[in-house]
Amino acid sequence: MNKTYRLVVFDWDGTLMDSAAEIIGAMQAAIADIGMENRSDGAIRNIIGLGLYEAIAALYPEAGEHDYTRVVDRYRYHFLADTGRNSQLFPGVEQLLAELSRQGYFLAVATGKSRRGLNRSLSQVGLERLFHSTRCADETRSKPHPQMLHEIMDELGAEPAQTLVVGDTEYDLQMASNAGAHSLAVSYGAHDK
């Protein structure tokens, strides 16, 4: 079979995993712990997909590095304390990934999550075996910068024209565009547009 794409790179939160409630809850708890001004659930939903430091900077552009670090530390505490009971794969995800793997596609994840958070999620849903590569925002530059996508393509020997990025946020689509790859937006997930 002649395939247009060799590599399909998925975002994790909001694309494969329905985790918005867990992320919003952990962020609200972290903000309350630090005593910073509240942000709406919608404002927090809009930063899903960014790395943690970039997300905090978007929510609190007036805050300093010290405040960012404090919120990040508390967010990680609350997020990792939650056993993932509020998150689950979107319907049909496991079957889709298994079929793409069966057809010989390279599969990867490019996420704003930390390595620890992604490993926990992958282990909980038992999908580690399906992905040839994963990159997290604490290992490389955050979306929409294309570095994590370039690293995945280099590792798996795929050119941008052979790469499809599937995501639910503008950050996913912009990362693909910045790398010269193709993109596909899902109609569900963290962002409305």
Q: Is 154 a catalytic residue?
A: no
CA 21 – CA 133 distance, rounded (Å): 26
User: For residue 93, which phi and psi values (nearest 5 degrees)?
Assistant: -65, -50
Cβ–Cβ < 8 Å for 118, 111: yes
CA 188 – CA 193 distance, rounded (Å): 9
Task: Output DSSP code: residue 82.
Answer: S
13, 18, 138, 172: the catalytic one is: 13
Residue 60, H or E segment: none
Q: Is 67 a catalytic residue?
A: no
11, 18, 138, 168: the catalytic one is: 11
Cβ–Cβ < 8 Å for 106, 162: no
Instruction: Give the catalytic positions in this structure.
Output: 11, 13
